[in-house]
Amino acid sequence: VIPGWFSEISPMWPGEAHSLKVEKILFQGKSDYQNVMVFQSATYGKVLVLDGVIQLTERDECAYQEMITHLPLCSIPNPKKVLVIGGGDGGVLREVSRHASVEKIDICEIDKMVVDVSKQFFPDIAVGFEDPRVTLHIGDGVAFLKAAPEGTYDAVIVDSSDPIGPAQELFEKPFFESVARALRPGGVVCTQAESIWLHMHIIEDIVVNCRQVFKGSVNYAWTTVPTYPSGMIGFMLCSTEGPSVDFKHPVNPIDENDSQHAGRPLKFYNSEVGCSNTCLLSLTPKLPQRW
């Protein structure tokens, strides 16, 4: 390890490690679920790390939070009730709040320390918790969904960490089945779905499960996030049976300067990006997972 640098070394991306120059460590703690750290980097702003894995940086979080939120919410005409699983930093909530049609936002985050640390060190991301439509539930997303009445939500966003640790169950079939049950007919789900350069085996399993569970459409979309392993990350975009959803052609364009967020315009997402970055997995090249 190079002194003064943070390297993201993990068995999930063997043989490689993205590094960031550290100016100052701002917080280190251990919650009931994971190690939590915040540091000031030299060129990406503040950085949130869980169990040694970069969750977000102030500089590039917009690409992830805007895409994971607006890809699904712009694909259906009038999203009203939205559920966020994970997302304890508040960034997805900030993006959901831009949609004036939304009346209710539930969020279920398992680790309260992530919420508290985000509010303390990332106020421009945790601002999402201030929206009066938001109800925060601290608990296990799997259990929350099992308890949700059938057909409750128009959209579910699964903003998870990686399938090692607390988020493992969020990548398995029973969880997708509980998401499908909690969605209304024609409802949509968008999940964090890893990198086509590193995790094709995980993605292929997720696609098999999603094709069995979601009888509408199943797409894989992606965006670039320089501080995530391989510099990109993908999303599974699925819809249940019912009114058809075409993720390539958003029907609900987001107003760039939506009054819900005066003074905080979008930094990354726009309708063009929204449709161009969505591809059927079959079109994704079979990339060498290691050389």
Ligand X SMILES: NCCCN[C@H]1CC[C@H](N)CC1
Point out the residue whose Cβ comes nearest to ligand X.
55
User: Contact 198/238 with Cβ under 8 angstroms?
Assistant: no
The active-site residue, picked from 60, 89, 106, 159, is: 159
Q: For ligand X, give the closer residue by CB, 102 or 193.
A: 193
Shortest separation between residue 101's beta carbon and ligand X, angstroms = 23
Q: For ligand X, give the closer residue by CB, 182 or 198.
A: 198
Shortest separation between residue 233's beta carbon and ligand X, angstroms = 5
Shortest separation between residue 66's beta carbon and ligand X, angstroms = 11
Q: Is residue 248 packed enough to be buried (19+ CB in 10 Å), middle (13-18) or exposed (0-12)?
A: middle
Q: What is the dihedral of CA 217, 209, 164, 28, to 10 degrees?
A: 30
Q: Which residues bind ligand X (CB under 6 A)?
A: 53, 55-56, 64, 87, 89, 91, 159, 161-162, 192, 228-229, 233
Per 3-state DSSP, what percentage of the chain is helix, strand, and coil (rounded to 5)?
Answer: 30, 30, 40
Q: For ligand X, give the closer residue by CB, 175 or 245.
A: 175
Nearest CA-CA partner of 260 in 106, 123, 126, 101: 101
159 tagged catalytic: yes
Nearest CA-CA partner of 36 in 46, 168, 172, 45: 46
The crossing angle, in degrees rounded to 10, of helices 200-213 and 173-182 is 40
Shortest separation between residue 83's beta carbon and ligand X, angstroms = 15
Q: For ligand X, give the closer residue by CB, 84 or 273.
A: 84
Question: Which of the residues are catalytic?
Answer: 159
